[in-house]
Structure 1
């Protein structure tokens, strides 16, 4: 989810190439030019204790985000993710997970791809720093350990202090969106989420006439005055309740992103700065030399292609299109927040617990709900945000929609 780039424009239909005096973070033209019926025209009203800021409409606030041009920053980001995934109950080894965060027997614990799944649940604290498009750093703070991903010029380093392992790769110099080695602003390193702006971009992409967008007052975030942009689906059947984005009143940069589910309860994804400075970080922040005795693994590229990997945080992309990427033959059924991606695996569905047997069979049965309809029968696997129906004949329906919407979609063929 790299920021879009442009010269002086604030909108574009896709990634825009070229750099003027400064790269711009641009949202899709369909968002900036969204119809008045979609955008709420009520200006921000400060509640008691909140910062007293000038009135602003939702349209103006979206344009402020699009015009934001923060090149340098440092700070601390808190990530809380609660998808409601069931515990594995000691079955991790059944799925081939290794030790020390390795993705395989020959992998490196310092490879960025080995760290992504750790951010899919629970609370994490990140330190981020950026100095233009060529220098970023993201560090995940752990108990008595730290993982850092550093991009400095042509070098990309990953370091896992727990295993004392280093991953090194070379970034290309093109910085084209979607290319190997792309490194965006605000510590966007491709494999790991960096700031709320990455998530805000995807939320704004989902805005259309099925969406209500309003300004929901003001708030203090990380010592900064901010407006709250509220994005709410108008359609029923989606698992998304609302998305709230706190936008820095001065710079226009998103400082906090919160996604709450339609079912209520705690946020599914809550990412926000607890500290932030827009001063130029010290150059030494991005220096890295492998520690003595560290195992160094050389990678072929700076990072896997984003088109096939996506971001590390679940809930960062909305709509069925996020689930259809990279899947041959995937189709999108439905519109807006009720869109569902469907594809045929060409094989059998998920085996039942009785077919598998043992602890693994019981675990599989506990994951899903058996459903049936005109399509036949299958199993719905649910989280608090993303649900998937896998039919017994191998068809898959997935989206940020509830179980009934998946079954209706499957029944409609």
Structure 2
């Protein structure tokens, strides 16, 4: 049985939330930068065959500035809408031939790149004239094979006609420098793109694509399919991964706070499992909790007994008061019959008033009430009203009261003779 530490999972999720914020800002900045680049007039000459030396120099300078300011940018390509012809590329391997200022590029299918259908933008009949409009029409592709992010923007010529797609290639681990700067990961951390290969059957979404920290170099081909299956199933907690045939376990925790993709974190299974000491402490705490619960249950039963006694005591007081206030108490035998007739009804009412407690302890309540009735019957069968009043002041004490003997009348005393007044003494 595995005892995973919630504290560890929570700490990782908090880190992932911070990393997600950094990643979203990073992607937003790239989209804005690429949108401005796409609208620059110098990009309009990429598709022209008769570009002047000045045009070539200007666009080379523009692209160099882009890559200098954004170290993660690997290259730029312009592919015509037919998905075949490449009109511009910063990758030397794309060049087929070069004469003077004219460069011929290989066809896109010969480059061994991602299927153009996964990257192509589409013409909606409108010119994206602002960075905002350009960004809205942009697309992203996660290339898990080469660990790249590919940004696609619609490409327009100098006549604002849609001509194809402008592609920007970015290293997936470029934003790692920003995360390291925030002390969220170590300097030797690695990041890996995990995403399905987009085709007719698979579509990349923010739920099934992402970047993962801590993926070991060994066993990636085994781990990536497992991660994709977990994400496809919507499992984003502390999920187990099998690293190799020996059954070595890793734990994947996924953050879902990014607007663009999942952010995952892989750690060794040992980091999440409680040590033997922690397990014993946990089991001890559970045992103590169980003991306290049982103790509490016994106390609740004791409280039920107190409640029953209190209810019967109130009944005794009310019963005594009722019969003390009656005016027909001279005939005690008749009164005794009336009390006996009410006994069953009163008992039932008291049990009912106690609810579930009354049902649970019905036998104890009945025995206590019978005892109270018997003692009361003994009292009313041989006592005067004065004795009952004295008894009602202390209903808990139930004892037989003997009739008080009548005191003999004391004879009237003789009148005392009046004393003579003593004369006032002379001074």
Q: TM-score, normalised by structure 2?
A: 0.19
> More strand by proportion, 1 or 2?
1
> More helix by proportion, 1 or 2?
2
Bigger RCO of structures 1 and 2 (CA < 8 A, at least 6 apart): 1
